[in-house]
Chains A and B, each alone.
Chain A
Amino acid sequence: MKLNWNLKMWAVVAALIVVLAATGTVLANKEVEKQSISIVARVNNDGSGIFVRGDVNVDDLVTIDGGVVTYHPDGWRDMLFMSPGPSSIQHMILMDIVKKKVGLGFVQNGVPYTEPSVRWTQVAPGQMKDMMAKSKDDNLIHGGIAWEPHFANIVASGAKKVISSSQYWEDHPCCVVAVNKKYMDTHGEQVKRFLAAYVKSAIKVGDILETGIGDEYEGLIDLVVRVGAPKEGTLDRNAAKVAMANTTYTYELSNLSDELTKVAETYKGLGLFSDETLTDAGFDGVQDFIEYLIKDGPLSEVVVNDGSGPRAKTPAELSLSDNSYRVDVAYLAADTHQIALHYGIEKGYFQEYGIYVNLMGPYAAGGDVMGALLSEHANIGLVGSPPALLQSINALR
């Protein structure tokens, strides 16, 4: 009896299934090192703010008395706010304010809701100013939250400030310097050199801003206007100065562990991750994982305090060789939190330490910078601490 089945074909298919199942089982039992990052320095604190359209009465939303902010839920209800995206610290701040302080729901625009809520929609900060101007006509968007220089620039263009992020959480962490974990382990030399140059630049920027006057200051503002404006002429020079004053530039890691724990607990409270993910990966909990992320070794190696305040060690003090290295650095679009990176490049600080900074990006959101780091596309990235934290946790899954 002859079967009409194509037996050869079926034999091949069956063999393929068996082989694939076998290799899969073998691979599944193999331990693989998961991609992660290390946080080696802070970039800034604060430097974001919530704004509303000029025709909205801010007193309906908040009243501020001697630094104490009182929120009025009725004013917030059904409003539509722009956010740089759910992975950003700005989004987390707005969500936390709406849910905890105002006491309303926080829903994605377009999704039907019954409980009194505030709506959010994702808009790139660079486009927020235009959207605000447009919304005067169509009354679609009421306000938003953005990082600097956009917050200052949007307020300068006729919107009203509700609160700055520091009024919600003083000295809240923002951007950090993150390094791909594998790169960190194998290219310590490069990380050290990069960090030394970065710290030198950050201290210099801090000094200039403290003076707030003079050629160096104006020169820095020139750079801010260039970096902060997606298009030439769209960033108001005075707004740039306000933006710089709203932001605290620092590299120090002190307290970051506690602050990130607070961020992580907020995320956990919002249901964005569970302890299980951490314990499954062998961590005791949030604190333990954050201590694993933050590596203060390189920073303590490159910073010295000889009486007149901390400073970056010179190349000679670090006894660096004459070699020079290329480092791929991911950064965010039009984000003046990261101005020290651009200032250091402009002033040649990185070259002094034998580092050629190859800028990767600009990326639109911190999540994308993390994507570049975790995929080893970039070696080092300047990124908001919430996406750094959340994506690191998610990379464990």
Chain B
Amino acid sequence: MSGKTIIEMLNYDKNDKRHRFARRAIIAAASLVVFVLLWWNLSLLLANPAIPTPQKTWSALTYLFAHGDSVSGVTMWSHISISLRRFVYGLLLAMAVAVPLGLFLGYSETLREFTMPTLEILRPIAPIAWAPIFIFTTGYVWGPILVVFVGIFFPMLTNTMFGVKKIDPNWIDAAKTMGATRVQVFTKVMFPAAVPYVMNGLRVGMGIGWMCIVASELYASFGGGIGFFVSIMAQMGYWDYVFAGIAVIAVLGLLTITVSDYVHKFIVRRMGME
């Protein structure tokens, strides 16, 4: 190492991609270290069993993934897969309903004027408020799925509608002058043009949907799941398990949002509609 001193190597060059990445990584690591230390201090200071230390949470986490808990008799993987399955069902259901409906509502002003009052009444209701009703009326199996559905449905619908309204009218005119029928305008112009907005709806909806699934499982769940796991563990005072569950929820939520962000960006770029 003749030419370069350590200082030189440390010199931050913001035009270098690797430097930028390293900087971000170091800052993120420092932030996490401070967070864990704060948590540790708070846990010791409050000395409340409901706030276990990071060490306890970590060992609970590793134990749950390796051996599972005695109450449900299954590992954390099973709880995660149960919740994820519900989440995916709710998501697919929301997409299947919200996207076509959003396209129609964006397309037809009369239909929009007709449905908006009802939708505007329903929209502000927190999805979890439906949980008791859905869970009872749909026999505990579809209940949590429907809660996720409601959570994802509205952002998806409004984004799709917005997407249709934002469509360049010249695109539609262009398609018409090439002989496109109403149906063809719908399928070949409006639908693809709305896709980036649908994806944005998906991105927003997925964050909300994840909160909904956990909340509805906390309320009651016929078939377990990570939210249910947290609720029964709290009932029995396994607070380290509760925290482990919360950590899993946090990581899964982060993953879903990261994945949907990435998918959104990818599709928007792929479609050249940045």
- B46-64 vs A, Cβ < 8 Å mask (1 yes, 0 no): 0111101000100000000
Contact A121 B222 (CB under 8 A): yes
Contacting A20 at CB < 8 Å: which of B34, B73, B232, B236?
B34
Q: Please, how many residues of chain A have a CB less than 8 angstroms from a CB on the other chain?
A: 57
Cα separation A21 to B11 with both chains bound (whole Å): 29
Evaluate contact between A122 and B228: CB separation under 8 angstroms.
yes
Instruction: Tell me the bound Cα distance from A390 to B73 in angstroms.
Output: 17
Number of interface residues of B (CB under 8 A): 48
- Flag if B73 contacts A110 (CB, 8 Å): no
Partner of A138, one of B71, B139, B225, B237: B139
CB distance from B41 to the nearest CB of A (A): 5
- Cβ of B255 under 8 Å from chain A: no
Contact (A3, B235) CB under 8 Å given A32-B47, A110-B82, A111-B224: no
Q: Can you offer 24 A-B residue contacts whose CB atoms are under 8 A?
A: A3-B11, A4-B13, A4-B14, A16-B37, A17-B30, A20-B38, A24-B40, A27-B41, A33-B47, A35-B49, A86-B232, A106-B73, A108-B72, A109-B224, A111-B224, A123-B220, A124-B220, A134-B136, A272-B70, A374-B49, A387-B235, A390-B236, A394-B49, A395-B237
Contact of A370 among B139, B228, B237 (CB under 8 A): B237
The yes or no answer to A391 lying at the interface (CB within 8 A) is yes
Query: In the complex the two chains form, what is the Cα distance from A4 to B136 in whole Å?
Result: 61
Known: A20-B41, A87-B236. A111 touches B11 (CB 8 A): no
Give A108's nearest chain B residue, CB to CB: B72
What CA separation (Å) do A132 and B73 show in the bound complex? Answer: 26
- Cβ–Cβ < 8 Å partners of B220 in chain A: 122-124
**B160-174 interface code vs A (CB 8 A; 1 in, 0 out):** 000000000000000
Known contacts being A111-B224, A367-B235, is A140 close to B139, with CB within 8 Å?
yes
Most buried by A among B30, B49, B221: B49
**CB proximity of B159 to chain A, nearest CB, Å:** 32
A23 within 8 A of B: yes
13 A-B pairs besides A5-B12, A140-B140, A272-B236 with CB distance below 8 A are A3-B7, A16-B37, A34-B47, A85-B235, A108-B73, A111-B72, A121-B222, A123-B220, A134-B139, A140-B141, A393-B237, A394-B49, A397-B239
Pick from A1, A16, A270, A393: contact of B70, CB under 8 Å: A270
The answer to whether B41 and A122 touch across the interface, beta carbons within 8 angstroms, is: no
Q: Is A58 an interface residue (CB 8 A)?
A: no
Which residues on B are within 8 Å of A, measured CB to CB? 7-8, 10-14, 30, 33-34, 37-38, 40-41, 44-45, 47-50, 52, 56, 70-74, 78, 82, 136, 139-141, 220-225, 228, 232, 234-240
With A27-B44, A394-B49, A394-B238 in contact, is A3–B10 under 8 Å at CB?
yes
| Contact, CB under 8 Å: B14 / A394 | no
Q: Chain A residues near B12: list those with CB within 8 A.
A: 3-5
CA distance A126 to B121 in the complex (A): 31
User: A21 to B240, Cβ gap below 8 A?
Assistant: no
B54 CB to closest chain A CB (Å) equals: 10
User: Residue A89 at the B interface, CB < 8 A?
Assistant: no
Q: Determine if A86 and B236 form an interchain contact, defined as CB atoms under 8 angstroms apart.
A: yes
Q: How far is the CB of B197 from chain A (nearest CB, A)?
A: 35
Assembled-state Cα–Cα distance A85/B33 (Å)? 37
Q: From known contacts A4-B12, A86-B235, A391-B237, infer whether A397 and B49 are also in contact, taking CB-CB under 8 Å.
A: yes
Q: How far does the Cβ of B221 sit from chain A's closest Cβ, in whole Å?
A: 8
In contact, B34 and A13 (Cβ under 8 angstroms): yes
Is A365 at the interface (CB under 8 A from chain B)? yes
Is A28 touching B236 in the complex (CB atoms < 8 A)? no
Known A24-B40, A371-B234; judge A130-B224 contact (CB<8 A). no
A-B pairs, 5 with minimum CB distance: A110-B223, A367-B235, A394-B237, A391-B237, A271-B70
Q: In whole angstroms, how far apart are the Cα atoms of A16 and B33 in the complex?
A: 10
Q: Which of A130, A134, A394 contacts B236 (CB 8 A)?
A: A394
Q: Which B residues lie within 8 Å of A111 (CB)?
A: 72-74, 78, 82, 223-224
Given contacts A17-B37, A108-B73, A111-B72, contact A397 B56 (CB under 8 A): yes
- Contact between A87 and B232 (Cβ–Cβ < 8 Å)? yes
Across the two chains, which residue of chain B brings its CB closest to A270?
Answer: B70
CB–CB A367/B236 < 8 A: yes
Task: Select A110's contact among B13, B70, B224, B234, beta carbons within 8 Å.
Answer: B224
